[in-house]
Structure 1
Amino acid sequence: MADRNGGWDFHLRTLSSSARDSNFSGDPASDPSLLQSVKRLYELCKAENSEDLIARVYPQISKLFQRAMASLSQSNTSYGLLLLAILQFFLDFGDIVLHDADTSLRTFFKSCLSREFADPVVAEATLDFLNTYKKKLLHTFPSLLPEFFPLLLKLIAWNGEKLEKSFITIFPGLIATGSFLPLFPSLMDLPVLVVALEKVERSSGSLIGSSIASIQKSTAPEMLLALMDEAYTGSTIGNGGADSESEDNNTIDVADPLFLDLLKDENDGLAERHWNSPGMTAALAAITNPQSERLKQALHIAPRLLDVYFAIALREVNDSLICALVPLLMSRISKIFPDKTFSYEVQKRLLGFMLAAFQRSPNFVAVLKKPIVDRLGEAYDSPAKTELALQLCWAIGEHGGGGGSHKDAARELFESLELLLYENLSSSRLGLRQDLAVGSNGDTSRKSSQARLLCFVITAIAKLATYHRELLPRARVSLGKVARSRISDGRVWRRARDYLGLMSEPAICISVLGPLQPSDEHMQSPGVVNWSEGCTKMNTHVPFHILGEQEGPPFHDFSFTDILPGR
């Protein structure tokens, strides 16, 4: 006990000496014993669980924190670990000493982590701290992590996959009502953020060196802070001299709004990112080939973060925010970092989430009628937009244009599908006529993709007309024109012919093309087999004639035990 008291007094005197006004001009973080004293005093307070001891330590800890923040901007030493140890004391014993840690936490993010996010030791310690106090932070300070999600994304973008596991653990805490929408483009542009940070490093000095001192002496952190200052105050940033541009023709224009948004530390709302801006052009032109290791890791991390983001969105986020996200998602489908594998992985996730959102709330198809119609009009602008239009056609047909109560929206969507269909029939855009010779492999692939889209358009028209019976006459006219056309791709005219045949059998048509659920959930649509009662049904309830256009029973081995539920 005497040894413990002696150690207690020694560490308390160390803090007291450091906090004296006579030593204020010094650099507290330059004394490694301070960090050890703070940690030891915290451990002793935790072990003793004495409010009296905590009350004796708190004034010295508080003074040290204030002194450290005052010295931070003039210091060449890292303060991250010392401030994290102090914050740990504030969070654990704040209720006892009546200390509100909110201001201290925000000061740490704004003044310290914004300068030291590139230091791997500070970055790892910060994530460990956030994971340790995750529950308390989310409960007591719920707006903290959502406010500083841009800074935390810079941390993971720069430090890469070695911290990904820790980052994903706290990632759900970044999602809140005010950060949900702005977070999406930031995740999409994580590789661009890496390019911007690397560009700053090349232009103004290393963000990270062999030691903490070299990091702080570098001009790169100051440049990032200057970018923040311009974003908040409008002040101009001095250039690096007349010769700086000659060294790098792709120097970032720090006044470009794109980079002010990319390199910010705090969430200031959803900002439009112009992919055709000079800043974005400079960023993409700065990509080296081969890609840097940090960029390669960001290309792997971003899709995994999107997986978590979309999973949380479907599970916890309300319909209004998801409805606002879907048009934003549509607008970004072709504005993705130009890496083939990355583009494929991201587009797959975007389309999957969009369809899941429509499945969760089918009325979104009607509510988002305007952006859907706009995207259908861009179906041939790029392969990505063609795939988006294809998936939208599927959603329109599958969900009946938003449901039976949205007849006006369904009619307008039907007209857009008609227009897309007639454009292909009246022009040579598809290039699928019999008198055209097969061109290059690229042309063949394009024709196949467009024929696939047309098949989905035909299916959507047939499904929409089955759901909204007043559209049936127009659907028969549209499909009849396709069936009589000279399109050489047999999939297109054969599908139109099959749907026309189904429409002559209303009960079977609604069973095959009708909605998953009738408008009245307590009523079963005619012609639809309830397979939970399949053991009592006759074989004639199965529409065999739709199975490959075969007459009579199916030719392949078929057993009702394969589809009926077990007893």
Structure 2
Amino acid sequence: MASPKLAAGDGSYDFHLRSLSAASRDSAAAADPASDPNLLQSVRMVFEMCKEAKGANDEMVARAFPVMNKLFQRCAAAPTLSTASTGVLLLTILQFFLDFGEAVLHDADGSLKTFFRSCLSREFSDPIVAERTLEFLIANKTKILNSFPALVPQFFPLLLKLIASNGDRLDKKFSEVLPLMMSAGSFLPLFLSLMDLPMLVVALEKVERSSGTLIGSSLATIQKSAAPEMLLALMDEAYTGSSIEDQSGNSGSDDSGRLDLADPMFLDLLKDENDGIAAKHWTSPTISSTLQAALNSPQSDRLKQSLKMAPHFLTVFFATALRDVNNSLLCALIPVVMSRYAAMFPDKDFSFE
């Protein structure tokens, strides 16, 4: 059976599949597989042809899947300082996995987690990758809830870094994704993290001042910075307990100095995955000095936006909680809310004992 062609005449299924197969095998491209500008187009073409095929759909998907899977693994494993974004490419392949996974008996759970850990953890500040990620989660909301209900609750801290970095231009899409983040294990930590969204912005900006920008008009600017590697070093210390040296020798309380990598406040704020433990960074000795420095300095646009977004996100959180969360979790939330207010407003009229 001849492979079908698109009506637009942009090329045959076999041509694009051969291109992807060559890219997945090419050792010369291994260092930066996403740098080929034609790669994403070929993935999209094969995907569309598989969707539009009549009668040959199963055969085409069966031929395309091993090539897509190998390409996905190669891109996800690319060196961290590659010059091209892999985010949009990997999201397109993930959509192929979700749409045709049943036909090839592929469980996409591992691939989804690989995307968050290997790609989004480095590209969360890229505006295009951030928006496409939220759109992907919205488009597949039902499928994710039914087949991968623990995925988004596990990675909600990373998604909070995404919105903290990109600001209010994505607040509506983030609000649509927010209910997906809520589960029994993430409910209380998510509330505290939403309350701390402005503090997350402060932490990210401290990293920027120490090691370079996390956000820019081009991903190349971000990836030339040491900041993503600094964040990953923070993650490594948070998860493994390994020691990270602060090369500057500063404590981090001075806003003009480098970040104190050992401070638990920043380790809590900058983590990528939910560990099920309520944030403890409000007990950090540097919290008051960090907040005071932020209050005494001109507020950045991102910080101003986070101060406006946080109440809106909390409104979505409470509305979803009242609709979907059981009474035992709601009862557990009450002392957490009161305790946080006591920390924010230490006056005796607001105190919680």
What TM-score do you get using the length of structure 1 for normalisation? 0.58
Q: Is 1:47 aligned to 2:55, yes or no?
A: no
Q: What residue is the counterpart of 2:142 in the other structure?
A: 135
**How far 1:273 moved relative to its partner?**
2.2
Equivalent residues of 1:252, 1:282 under 8 A apart: no
2:12 to 7, 10, 13: 7
Q: What residue is the counterpart of 2:324 in the other structure?
A: 316
Q: What residue is the counterpart of 2:22 in the other structure?
A: 17
Q: Is 1:215 aligned to 2:222, yes or no?
A: yes
Q: What residue is the counterpart of 1:306 in the other structure?
A: 314
Q: Matches of 2:284 and 2:249 in 1, distance apart? A: 24
Q: Matches of 1:9 and 1:184 in 2, distance apart? A: 50
Equivalent residues of 1:11, 1:41 under 8 A apart: yes
Equivalent residues of 2:85, 2:123 under 8 A apart: yes
Aligned length: 345
Q: What residue is the counterpart of 2:300 in the other structure?
A: 292
Q: What residue is the counterpart of 2:239 in the other structure?
A: 232
Q: Is 1:330 aligned to 2:338, yes or no?
A: yes
Equivalent residues of 1:72, 1:79 under 8 A apart: no
**How far 1:322 moved relative to its partner?**
1.2
* 319 and 30 in structure 1: CA distance in 2 versus 1, 3 angstrom threshold: same
Equivalent positions of 1:136-175 (< 5 A) are 136-175=143-182
**How far 1:72 moved relative to its partner?**
4.0
Q: Is 1:58 aligned to 2:65, yes or no?
A: yes
**How far 1:299 moved relative to its partner?**
0.6
Q: What residue is the counterpart of 1:529 in the other structure?
A: none
Equivalent positions of 1:282-431 (< 5 A) are 282-287=289-294, 289-336=297-344, 381-385=347-351
* 331 and 246 in structure 1: CA distance in 2 versus 1, 3 angstrom threshold: closer
* 257 and 109 in structure 1: CA distance in 2 versus 1, 3 angstrom threshold: same
**How far 1:24 moved relative to its partner?**
5.2
**How far 1:170 moved relative to its partner?**
1.3
Q: What residue is the counterpart of 1:34 in the other structure?
A: 39
Q: What residue is the counterpart of 1:180 in the other structure?
A: 187
What stretches of structure 2 of length at least 5 have no aligned partner? Answer: none
**How far 1:246 moved relative to its partner?**
12
Q: 1 or 2 for the larger relative contact order (CA 8 Å, sep ≥6)? A: 2
The 3-state SS of whatever aligns with 2:80 is: helix
Equivalent residues of 1:259, 1:279 under 8 A apart: no
Q: Matches of 2:140 and 2:271 in 1, distance apart? A: 25
The 3-state SS of whatever aligns with 1:240 is: coil
Cα distance per residue 1:236-279 (max 9 Å; x no partner): 22323469979955543221111111100100012342435233
* 383 and 70 in structure 1: CA distance in 2 versus 1, 3 angstrom threshold: same
What stretches of structure 1 of length at least 5 have no aligned partner? Answer: 337-342, 344-377, 390-567
The one-letter code matched in structure 2 to 1:172 is P
1:190 to 194, 197, 221: 197
The one-letter code matched in structure 2 to 1:261 is D
Identity %: 60
Equivalent residues of 1:55, 1:97 under 8 A apart: yes
Cα distance per residue 1:206-236 (max 9 Å; x no partner): 1123421221111100111000000111112
**How far 1:303 moved relative to its partner?**
0.6
* 241 and 291 in structure 1: CA distance in 2 versus 1, 3 angstrom threshold: closer
Equivalent residues of 2:234, 2:267 under 8 A apart: yes
Cα distance per residue 1:125-178 (max 9 Å; x no partner): 100111110110011000000000111111111111110111111111111111
Q: Which is higher, the Rg of structure 1 or of structure 2?
A: 1
Equivalent residues of 2:91, 2:136 under 8 A apart: yes
The one-letter code matched in structure 2 to 1:206 is T
* 246 and 274 in structure 1: CA distance in 2 versus 1, 3 angstrom threshold: closer
Q: Matches of 1:115 and 1:93 in 2, distance apart? A: 28
**How far 1:294 moved relative to its partner?**
0.4
Cα distance per residue 1:450-495 (max 9 Å; x no partner): xxxxxxxxxxxxxxxxxxxxxxxxxxxxxxxxxxxxxxxxxxxxxx
Aligned-CA RMSD value = 2.3
Equivalent residues of 1:250, 1:286 under 8 A apart: no
Equivalent residues of 2:252, 2:259 under 8 A apart: no
The one-letter code matched in structure 2 to 1:14 is S
Q: Is 1:281 aligned to 2:288, yes or no?
A: yes
* 74 and 203 in structure 1: CA distance in 2 versus 1, 3 angstrom threshold: closer
What TM-score do you get using the length of structure 2 for normalisation? 0.91
Equivalent residues of 1:226, 1:237 under 8 A apart: yes
**How far 1:292 moved relative to its partner?**
0.9
Q: Matches of 2:4 and 2:321 in 1, distance apart? A: 56
* 317 and 3 in structure 1: CA distance in 2 versus 1, 3 angstrom threshold: closer
Cα distance per residue 1:488-544 (max 9 Å; x no partner): xxxxxxxxxxxxxxxxxxxxxxxxxxxxxxxxxxxxxxxxxxxxxxxxxxxxxxxxx
